[in-house]
């Protein structure tokens, strides 16, 4: 049985839970101040936003877009609302994804330094992590920005709007039984040359990487694991069985990260086509695998 509602991201250590303000569109400044926010510039893009929200969750019924997440907007940002909500200048429209605030400390690891800079108040967990994935994924697609609120009024000044970075992209292919590591390396050898195995817990639980560039991890999709909303219309007790995750490792600059990201996306599309899987990005948005004949 697939679990449709655990914490959206792994929780490490203790978590802090704070009661969120009600998602009350009648008080937009309070809502925007206390919720994960999508910021857009330029002409209104409400139709595009609505379409993308329904791609992320085909069963969304706004304002209820996910369990524990309420969607509100668009809010035109005049100078008074922008100031009351503590939002930066340069943006014309905002949306809010309201959820109970829950944070967990950044775990130690290769990306810990970067993550602590990006999440000075802790990483979102539970429904707030789902809300954050939605607004960050929308910002990535619509050339916008996203802001995660601080955990207290005192820290509000350090809650800044963030643009999506190529280095933070990841791609997940959901499929049936796992390919062996040697078969997977053969499938990806043209897209991702110089791949080698970097550890294996089992035949269906292993990692391939190119040191300093990227990694491709393969593992069973376990019972109780969070199921992305885009997958839910087709999940079954025996599907998905495997997840292949393509992830960029820390790069020196955004140019290098963008180059690696383009390689990973092409390789993930290829693999989804080969195994007949479903390809989502790290925010849970579906990506279409390009048919092999068109490459």
pTM of the model: 0.85
Q: What is the pLDDT of residue 281?
A: 96
Looking at the chain, which runs of residues are DSSP E strands?
A: 15-18, 37-40, 64-66, 69-76, 93-98, 101-104, 123-124, 145-147, 161-162, 170-175, 196-202, 205-210, 214-220, 242-248, 278-281, 286-287
Average the pLDDT over 211-237 and give the result: 94
Residue among 195, 203, 204, 176 nearest 246 (CA): 195
Q: Does domain 166-294 have CATH number 3.30.70?
A: yes
pLDDT in tens, 9-24: 433 334 444 444 445 6
Q: What is the pLDDT of residue 56?
A: 98
Give the domain ranges of the chain.
15-162, 166-294
Q: What is the pLDDT of residue 152?
A: 59
């Amino acid at each position: 049985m697939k679990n449709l509602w655990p914490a959206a991201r792994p929780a490490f250590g203790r978590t802090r839970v704070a009661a969120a303000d009600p998602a009350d569109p009648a008080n937009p400044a309070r809502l925007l101040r206390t919720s994960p926010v999508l910021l857009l510039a330029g002409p209104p893009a409400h139709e595009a936003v609505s379409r993308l929200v329904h791609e992320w969750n085909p069963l969304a019924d706004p304002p209820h877009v996910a369990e524990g997440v309420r969607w509100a907007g668009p809010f035109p940002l005049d100078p008074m609302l922008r100031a009351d909500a503590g939002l930066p200048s340069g943006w014309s429209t905002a949306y809010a994804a309201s959820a109970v605030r829950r944070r967990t400390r950044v775990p130690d690891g290769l990306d810990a330094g970067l993550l602590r800079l990006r999440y000075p108040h802790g990483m979102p967990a539970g429904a707030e992590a789902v809300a954050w994935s939605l607004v960050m994924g929308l910002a990535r697609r619509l050339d916008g920005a996203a802001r995660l609120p601080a955990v207290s009024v005192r820290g509000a000044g350090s809650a800044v709007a963030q643009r999506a970075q190529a280095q933070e992209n990841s791609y997940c292919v959901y499929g049936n039984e796992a390919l062996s590591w040697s078969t997977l390396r053969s499938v990806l050898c043209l897209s991702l040359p110089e791949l080698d195995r970097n550890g294996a817990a089992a035949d269906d639980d292993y990692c391939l990487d190119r040191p300093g560039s990227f990694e491709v991890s393969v593992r069973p999709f376990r019972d109780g694991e969070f199921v992305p909303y885009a997958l839910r219309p087709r999940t079954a007790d025996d599907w998905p069985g495997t997840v292949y995750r393509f992830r960029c490792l820390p790069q020196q600059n955004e140019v290098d990260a963008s180059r690696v990201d383009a390689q990973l996306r092409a390789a993930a599309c290829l693999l989804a086509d080969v195994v007949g899987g479903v390809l989502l990005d790290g925010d849970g948005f579906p990506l279409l695998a390009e048919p092999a004949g068109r490459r």
